Chain A
């Protein structure tokens, strides 16, 4: 607490109690409420029970304000230990606080729009460059297969492919069930139940199977790629590799991309088969289309081209997912927070690119008439 007395020599402030950082809120008001009026001030600190840097700051700041008003400050009853602390704090009070000024004017806004535009253009170019670099290393690896890191490749295949089989198969099965169920209610109105076979097989084999598999893999493995390589970037492991003459693209990116190139078609195929099984089962239960009939119609009316069209897209999706995930990882700068941001960006970007690419393929195939 502060008691203020006025006598012939000026104001005498008697401070009592504890001046500790953790309980400073009780005295903070009293200190800031004191307005120096140009008269001399005596601060009596003989009754304080405890003082730490926080309390010392309040006292030192008060003294500074009094001096700024052109008056003298004297301390009374100061204990030696407190005096040393007060001196240390007074010497270290920064003249100007390092404040993070935030002025946002219209010009700043225009500048930030410009910065963002240039930034995203640079990002696109950098991504394109990275794609080229990866393709170059990929071709070199194909020409010189001994350069491929087999152990890394196999472990990535297990991680991105083998361990994804349950989730991909379950997803495919459920998609088949949903298509059959939704198709059945519509087709029943026309008495065209039997066309449920084409509905399921064409939509799944051509589009849904591989598209949804790619989306799951982008979320599952793309994020893992970005997070793991990104953390390596933070720990300077990538720099260490470069100094050891190891090419990070060859060591980290190629095994992952190749693993995706091999495993994504397989996962897509598994999703297709599971969807057909799910759809067939639902057709049998709900529409009385027997498995035999399902198989016959599948063979007669759905050409192998439908499967091929789906499978052709798989390596492209794999490349997009792998390259975007690894590129995002390489953009990680400095902190753990950056890894998180890049991982999110990686998943969003690769899913978007997969869908965009799928749309392009759709247009291409329909123009080609397949």
Chain B
């Protein structure tokens, strides 16, 4: 498993398969241009971290790729399907092959945690109720939640548990791509580290491609294979995090060589 991941992330090129291909993307809200001619590739089996200052459109990029935001121009291909202009049926099929975990969980507040995780299974598969429950409990256990939380409502969970439950729901259909919006924001350092580890483990075990918007330098060093920096309305640089310190751009320099970055780097190397 490790071997293949290395192969895919190495610059060999030939083995790399782009699961997400964003070309010339432009996003505009009124007079404000968020993305201008943005290009980005996400390779199969990698963990890609998207970083950037506040308001650089990280979440907008995620929302645009999963089809929640219609861009002004550009094209987006996910798993070979044009998600903007492709035929409706194909786009529907693609939606079953990705999972999205929103920043605050966005769990359905009227359903219990188990029912939340079962919701995609109920909608998209024909499996029996018992198997659905079993798979739901399995996913809940996989993300490290106690079985006791199955019957709880989202409002009865802590913020960290909600994020885990959201991940369990995103993984319900065993997707190939998982989108995470600030997965560790608002978690305590121990909880955040555990969550990073969890994502890393699941990514290895399930062979996921992870698209992660994050501010957390620890996560970047711990689990991201590659980092893409959003600045000046486009992807300014992308590559392994070790190369980021060599980029000659004031924001990138400040971000990756600041005191917090150095501490995170040391921690990342310890692992």
Whether B109 and A337, one on each chain, are in contact in the complex, defined by CB atoms closer than 8 angstroms, is yes
Give Cα distance in the complex from A98 to B141, angstroms: 10
Whether B125 and A21, one on each chain, are in contact in the complex, defined by CB atoms closer than 8 angstroms, is yes
Whether A94 and B127, one on each chain, are in contact in the complex, defined by CB atoms closer than 8 angstroms, is no
Residues of B contacting A296 in the complex (Cβ-Cβ under 8 angstroms):
none
Whether A98 and B138, one on each chain, are in contact in the complex, defined by CB atoms closer than 8 angstroms, is no
Interface string of B227-249 (1 = CB under 8 A from A): 00000000000000000000000
Give Cα distance in the complex from A52 to B150, angstroms: 22
Interface string of A27-52 (1 = CB under 8 A from B): 01000000000000000000000001
- How many A residues are at the interface, by size bracket? 20 to 34
Interface string of A333-356 (1 = CB under 8 A from B): 111110000000000000000000
At the interface, yes or no: B9 with Cβ under 8 Å from chain A?
no
- A-side binding surface: helix, strand, loop or mixed? helix
At the interface, yes or no: A96 with Cβ under 8 Å from chain B?
yes
At the interface, yes or no: A100 with Cβ under 8 Å from chain B?
yes
- B-side binding surface: helix, strand, loop or mixed? helix
Give Cα distance in the complex from A58 to B127, angstroms: 12
B45: shortest Cβ distance to chain A, in Å? 11
At the interface, yes or no: A99 with Cβ under 8 Å from chain B?
yes
Residues of A contacting B96 in the complex (Cβ-Cβ under 8 angstroms):
22
Complex partner residue of B174 from A52, A96, A97, A337, CB under 8 angstroms: A52
Given contacts A334-B109, A334-B155, contact A97 B137 (CB under 8 A): yes
Whether B207 and A335, one on each chain, are in contact in the complex, defined by CB atoms closer than 8 angstroms, is no
Given contacts A24-B125, A99-B133, contact A94 B138 (CB under 8 A): yes
Given contacts A61-B134, A98-B137, A333-B155, contact A54 B174 (CB under 8 A): yes
Whether B205 and A93, one on each chain, are in contact in the complex, defined by CB atoms closer than 8 angstroms, is no
Given contacts A80-B1, A335-B155, contact A97 B133 (CB under 8 A): yes
Complex partner residue of A98 from B4, B126, B147, B173, CB under 8 angstroms: B147
Given contacts A24-B127, A98-B148, contact A57 B142 (CB under 8 A): no
Whether B112 and A25, one on each chain, are in contact in the complex, defined by CB atoms closer than 8 angstroms, is no
At the interface, yes or no: A88 with Cβ under 8 Å from chain B?
yes
B198: shortest Cβ distance to chain A, in Å? 11
Among A288-322, those with CB < 8 Å from B are none
Interface string of B133-170 (1 = CB under 8 A from A): 11101111110000111110111100000000000000
A sample of 19 cross-chain residue pairs with beta-carbon separation below 8 angstroms, ordered by A number, consists of: A22-B124, A22-B174, A52-B206, A54-B127, A54-B135, A57-B135, A61-B134, A81-B4, A81-B207, A85-B206, A89-B138, A92-B138, A94-B137, A94-B147, A97-B133, A98-B147, A100-B151, A335-B153, A337-B109
Interface residues of B (CB under 8 A from A): 1, 4, 96, 109-110, 112, 114, 121, 124-128, 131, 133-135, 137-142, 147-151, 153-156, 171-174, 201, 204-207
Extra inter-chain contacts (17) besides given A28-B127, A97-B134, A335-B109, CB under 8 Å: A21-B127, A21-B174, A22-B124, A22-B173, A23-B125, A24-B127, A80-B1, A84-B204, A84-B205, A94-B138, A97-B137, A97-B150, A99-B133, A99-B151, A100-B150, A335-B155, A336-B109
